[in-house]
Structure formats: C-alpha cells, structure tokens
C-alpha cells in the first residue's frame, strides 16, 4: 500500500502507474508530489537545516541562501559511471560508455530494490523551457533527495502548471533517481551527505525509450536529471530523431548603439570562459549584452526558415572558484540571494568564500569538508575546485526580457572556441554552413598541465563542446548538423565563427585582454551577420582586417593585432595530423563532407 503524503495532482494514468511501479520497487516511507511553490521550497530548506545537512547563511550577507557540503567522493559528474545504454553498441559510438540496456536495468533494479526505505519519495514534474513552449519538453523526476528537489525548483520550472500542460494523455521523459542509501527504522543521516560508494554509482541513459536512471550520487548533473542528462544526452537523441538541435551552448542578446539586435549561441569546452561570455559587460560604448542562457540551447526552425532557440533551464549551476566581480559581476549578483551553495567555504560571519573571489579570507573559515581552515597555514583549497552555486536566472541583472519567450529567439551566429595558445586566430568566419560544421567538429583545447594522461601541449578535441553530452554516435551527430543546414537556405542560417581568446606570444604573454573586451570581437561578428564589417578571405575562412576590430581604449598594439589575426601555416600543418587522428575514431560514420573540408583546407594552406 502506497502512503501518499498529499493528493495525487494528475489524472495522467501512465504517470500515476509509473510512480506506483517505482514506489513498489524503492519502498519509500511516503510519496510526495511536488508543487514547486515557494512555501514548499522554504519548508524543505528548513527541514534540511534542522537535520544538519544544510547551513543557513547570514541573511544580511546572502538572503534566503543555504550551504551544503557533499561527501568527498561525490563532488562532480562521474563520466566513467555514466552510460548510454542504446540497444546497439554501435549507436552509442566511441565517445560514450556503453552497457547492454537489459543487463544494465537488471543490475540497477537490484540496487533500487528498497533503496528509499526510511525516506520520502518526491515526484518532481518539471518543464525544460517555458511551460507550454513548442520547443520545451516535460520531465518527471522521482528522487529521495530534498536537495535535488530544491535545486530542481531553481534550475527548472516545477509544479502543477507543468502537470496541466501534460494533461491526461501527454508524454513525459521519465527520470528516476536515488541517493542509494536506505535508512533503517529510527536511523537518520546525522547531517551527513547521503550517497552510495563509487562502484555503486550509475547514471544511465536509454535513448530509444527516452529514460534516465540515476543511482548513488546526490550531486550536480548526476542527480539534477533535467540538466545534462535530459537537456543534452536524451534531448540530443530526440533532436536527431525529430530534426532539431539540443546543444551545450550559451545564448546571448547583442544590441548595437542603433538599437539593432542579434542573438548569438556559443559552444566552448570547460575553462574557456563560456559563462563569462554569456553575462559579459561590454567595454565598447553604447553596446549592450544580455543573457538568454549560460549553458544549454534547444533550437527548432520557425516558419520563416530561421533557427529559434530557448534556454531550457531556469537557473545557473555555476562553478564558484574563479568567479568574482571582475571576471563575472552578473553571476556574482545572481548568486547574492536565493542561492544554494555546494562545497564552498563558510566564513566566520556566515558568508561564503572560495578561491578567486574578490577578497582575501579573514579569520578562520570552515572548508568544504567541514574542517577549520586558515589561509596562513592551509595546504589544501577552502572550496572544492568544482564547488557550485545554484541561482535563479531571474536574479541576473543582465537577463534579457526574451529569455522566457516560448517562441524562442532567432539565432544569427554560432560561436565555437577553445583554449589555444597558438595556431588558432582571435576570430575567423566559415565560408559556408558545411565549413562551419567542420569548424565545430574540430573544437579543442590545449592541455597546459599534465592531466588526463595527455602530454602537455596536446590538443584534447571536444567537438561542439559535446564530447561528454552527446547521447548517440558522434559521427551521426555531425551528419545531423549537416542535415539541419539543408533544411533552410544559407542566407537564413546562422553565420558560424571560431574564436580564441587565449592566444599567447612565444614568451607566454596574453595577446588579447579578454573578459569585457571580447565585446569588440562580438561587434565584428554582429557586423558580419549583416555582411558588413571589414574582412579578407584567407585559407581558413574570413578574417577581420587589421583595423576591423575596435581597439579604442585598450592596450593592444598593431604588432599584437597582426599576430592575433595571422594564419599560422606551420601550426596548421601540425593540426592536420591531430584532426585526422580525431576523425579516425568515428570510422565510416564520419560524414564524407567533413573529410572533404579537411582536404580542401589542407590544399588551400599548401597553395597560400
């Protein structure tokens, strides 16, 4: 017999039956249907504070905000425990971990059996994207974690309105999650973060049946199943089948002094300034940047043949270390209230602190492991390098009015980029959609310290910044991008650009100031979208002339600008071997058009 803590708020028989099946498997003490209200959020926060799992921050410093400390083994996405369980292994491709779906479900069902004993099973109805949007999708997450519920309320649209849109017969993406730590009668977590050992953690995606099963982790993208699991891994497979795009991209609105508007979407691997760009404050007079989204874009064609994008999320799940009032003031303001912090340090006056924040730590802190920490004697960081803040997008001072438009915004330009100290210029533009897809397929960042068993100076390829997030074979993903381009005409498709803010001199000096000054490159991109802006055709694509980028008020010399916009023939020759090795992974699934583009580029550079 299921013990419902509140009334079932839907007549969708498929949904109710699904919940009942999982309640029978997981055996919770009670089942609670979430309504996403402020009262519900506040009550759950109070319960977690009372249990010792959360610390309430000083209301004068961070109003309505909490701090959590996770178990040290549960601090980030666990890629080696993340699976794409497609029916055929070849459909998962070489970039994903694959397990036979029947075998994986058998293993996980044994783990789920009784896993919620002593806990509440929460049912979270959530919309990815504005509720009712034609581009949005509805998910239902089952979880035994109040931390997950509160984060999902910030990160997605949760509540009864979602169930109203779902209706009695609507389709939803089923997402099941458990921290994997049942409680015996009378037992509690004693304020400790609940999770399972690493060898019991599974984050499983079933692309054909559009299911997500997660077990053993309570953290981030492993547990907030609307984030990477639904919005990218499952959505990318759906987008492939249905003819749209689900991408790991920021979306920004760029307004010129004349009031003209362009919308830009950009894909960047980690540590390449993606969130900073999404919330950029321009340094050029009378230009304006506003944020639509900082991480994910879903795009479908409108009736006018243009791609329209929504941000499927409602919040920011940002990395705290390195975020400050210089690097990203809008993120800092977004996280100044109504925020959940995880694995940052706690100050004596009840505020948060992390490495790279604006001020030096005063007095004794409590670090992310709950230990006393003093800057003078510390040998380890106070905040975990992957410490996070979960903040409402509506609290961002740069949020664009259109960010919740159910129709989405028309995308004028795509940006791809990576952290490259040489070879790749500051900015160049593709000559066609096909050439642009080629550029996206070779995105990479250079390894600057021994990591991931890669040699320093090695380029780690992260095509379209989707390497950990593509829910099917990446060769098919490239083909999908090429096919999407054929559904419209070149004049209506977004222009495609590659940017590199990280070019250095031979002595290791940054050539470009970055941050707010990246608006100067955005201005040129804006102009190019209207086929304006000074440009020359080079072997790698269109590039700005030496005087095309506004350098008023910044210290970038003519010589530096020349270096930033040079075509490094020798560097590109070395690049070809790396690209060919990268392409070889995809075998006969690699579209011929991309190999042709590589051959054409090689020929143009040879003859230049």
Position 439 scores a pLDDT of 98
The active-site residue, picked from 34, 115, 195, 272, is: 272
- Which stretch of DSSP H or E encloses residue 561? helix 558-564
Tokens of 10: 């839907």
Give the per-residue SS3 of 383-407: CCCCCEEEEEHHHCCCECHHHHCCC
What one-character-per-residue DSSP string does 125-170 give? EEEESSTT-SS-EEEEEEES-HHHHHHHHHHSEESHHHHHHHTTT-
Indicate whether 98 and 229 sit together in one domain: yes
Final residue before a domain boundary, out of 242, 269, 297:
242
Position 581 scores a pLDDT of 95
Contact 350, 298 (CB under 8 A): no
Indicate whether 178 and 221 sit together in one domain: yes
What one-character-per-residue DSSP string does 47-70 give? HHHHHTSEEEPPTTTSTT-EEE--
Q: What are the two backbone dihedrals, phi and then psi, of residue 24, each rounded to the nearest 5 degrees?
A: -65, -35
Tens digits of residue pLDDT in 494-512: 999 999 999 999 888 999 9
Q: Number of folded domains in the chain? A: 3
Indicate whether 408 and 528 sit together in one domain: yes
With respect to residue 7, please indicate whether it lies within any of the assigned structural domains: no
Indicate whether 438 and 533 sit together in one domain: yes
Indicate whether 296 and 325 sit together in one domain: no
Whether 272 is catalytic: yes
**Which portions of the chain are predicted below pLDDT 50?**
449-454
With respect to residue 63, please indicate whether it lies within any of the assigned structural domains: no
Contact 140, 123 (CB under 8 A): yes
With respect to residue 122, please indicate whether it lies within any of the assigned structural domains: yes
With respect to residue 495, please indicate whether it lies within any of the assigned structural domains: yes
Tens digits of residue pLDDT in 182-210: 999 999 999 999 999 999 999 999 999 99
Indicate whether 377 and 326 sit together in one domain: yes
Cite the beta strand spans of 438-547 per DSSP E.
444-446, 459-461, 495-499, 535-538, 541-544
With respect to residue 2, please indicate whether it lies within any of the assigned structural domains: no
Domain residues for 31?
13-53+78-242
Residue 87 is part of a domain; what is its CATH number?
3.40.449.10
Position 455 scores a pLDDT of 58
Residue 147's CB: how many other CB atoms inside 10 A?
26
- Which stretch of DSSP H or E encloses residue 498? strand 495-499
- Which stretch of DSSP H or E encloses residue 198? none
Rounded to whole angstroms, the Cα distance separating 163 from 126 reads 8
Residue 125's CB: how many other CB atoms inside 10 A?
28
Indicate whether 302 and 420 sit together in one domain: yes
Position 270 scores a pLDDT of 82
Tokens of 343: 């694995």
Indicate whether 334 and 409 sit together in one domain: no
With respect to residue 59, please indicate whether it lies within any of the assigned structural domains: no
Indicate whether 254 and 365 sit together in one domain: no
Residue 372 is part of a domain; what is its CATH number?
2.170.8.10
Rounded to whole angstroms, the Cα distance separating 280 from 291 reads 8
Indicate whether 408 and 367 sit together in one domain: no
Tokens of 567: 């075509």
Indicate whether 336 and 473 sit together in one domain: no
Claim: this prediction has a pTM higher than 0.95: yes
Final residue before a domain boundary, out of 242, 260, 285:
242
Indicate whether 122 and 232 sit together in one domain: yes
């Amino acid at each position: 017999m299921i013990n419902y803590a509140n009334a079932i708020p839907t007549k969708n028989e498929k949904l109710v039956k699904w919940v009942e099946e999982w309640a029978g498997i997981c055996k919770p003490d009670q089942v609670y249907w979430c309504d996403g209200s402020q009262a519900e959020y506040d009550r759950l926060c109070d319960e977690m504070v009372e249990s010792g799992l959360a610390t309430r921050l000083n209301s004068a410093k961070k109003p309505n905000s909490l701090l959590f400390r996770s178990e040290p083994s549960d601090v980030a996405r666990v890629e080696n425990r993340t699976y794409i369980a497609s029916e055929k292994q070849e459909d998962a491709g070489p970039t994903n971990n694959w397990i036979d779906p029947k075998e994986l479900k058998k293993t996980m069902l044994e783990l789920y059996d009784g896993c919620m004993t002593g806990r509440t099973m929460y049912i979270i109805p959530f919309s990815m994207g504005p509720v009712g949007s034609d581009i949005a999708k509805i998910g239902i997450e089952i979880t035994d974690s109040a931390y997950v519920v509160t984060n999902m309320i910030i990160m997605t649209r949760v509540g009864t309105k979602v169930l109203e849109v779902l209706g009695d017969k609507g389709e939803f993406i089923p997402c099941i999650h458990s921290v994997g730590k049942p409680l015996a009668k009378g037992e509690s977590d004693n304020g400790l973060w609940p999770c399972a050992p690493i060898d019991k953690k599974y984050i499983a995606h079933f692309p054909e049946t559009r299911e997500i099963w997660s077990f053993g982790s309570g953290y981030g993208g492993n547990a907030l199943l609307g984030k990477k699991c639904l919005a990218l891994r499952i959505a990318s497979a759906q987008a492939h089948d249905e003819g749209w795009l689900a991408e790991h991209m920021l979306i920004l609105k760029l307004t010129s002094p004349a009031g003209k508007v362009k919308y830009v979407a950009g894909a960047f691997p980690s540590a390449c300034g993606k969130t900073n760009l999404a919330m950029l404050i321009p340094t050029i007079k009378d230009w304006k940047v506003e944020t639509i989204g900082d991480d994910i874009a879903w795009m479908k064609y409108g009736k006018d043949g243009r791609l329209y994008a929504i941000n499927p999320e409602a919040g920011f799940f940002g990395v705290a270390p390195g975020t400050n009032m210089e690097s990203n003031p809008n993120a800092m303001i977004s996280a100044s209230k109504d925020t959940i912090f995880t694995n940052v340090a706690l100050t004596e006056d009840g505020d948060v602190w992390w490495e790279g924040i604006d001020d030096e730590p005063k007095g004794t802190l409590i670090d992310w492991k709950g230990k006393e920490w003093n800057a003078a004697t510390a040998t380890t960081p106070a905040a975990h390098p992957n410490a996070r803040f979960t903040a409402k997008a509506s609290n961002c001072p740069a949020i664009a009015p259109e960010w919740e438009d159910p129709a989405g915004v028309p995308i004028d330009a795509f940006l791809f980029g990576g952290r490259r100290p040489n070879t790749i210029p500051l900015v160049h533009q593709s000559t066609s959609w096909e050439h642009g897809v080629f550029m996206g397929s070779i995105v990479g960042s250079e390894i600057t310290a021994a990591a991931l068993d890669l040699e320093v100076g090695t380029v780690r390829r992260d095509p379209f910044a989707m390497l950990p997030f593509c829910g099917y074979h990446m060769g098919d993903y490239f083909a999908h991008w090429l096919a999407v381009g054929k559904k419209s005409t070149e004049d209506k498709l977004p222009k495609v650009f590659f940017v590199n803010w990280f070019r250095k001199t031979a002595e290791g000096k940054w050539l470009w100031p970055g941050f707010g000054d990246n608006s100067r490159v955005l201005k040129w991109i804006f102009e190019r979208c209207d086929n304006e802006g000074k440009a020359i055709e080079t072997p790698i694509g269109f590039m700005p002339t030496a005087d095309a980028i506004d350098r008023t008020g910044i210290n970038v010399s003519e010589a530096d600008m020349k270096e930033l916009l040079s075509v490094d023939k020798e560097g590109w020759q070395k690049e070809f071997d790396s690209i060919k090795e990268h392409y070889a992974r995809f075998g006969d699934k690699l579209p011929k058009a991309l190999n042709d583009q590589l051959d054409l580029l090689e020929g143009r550079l040879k003859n230049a």
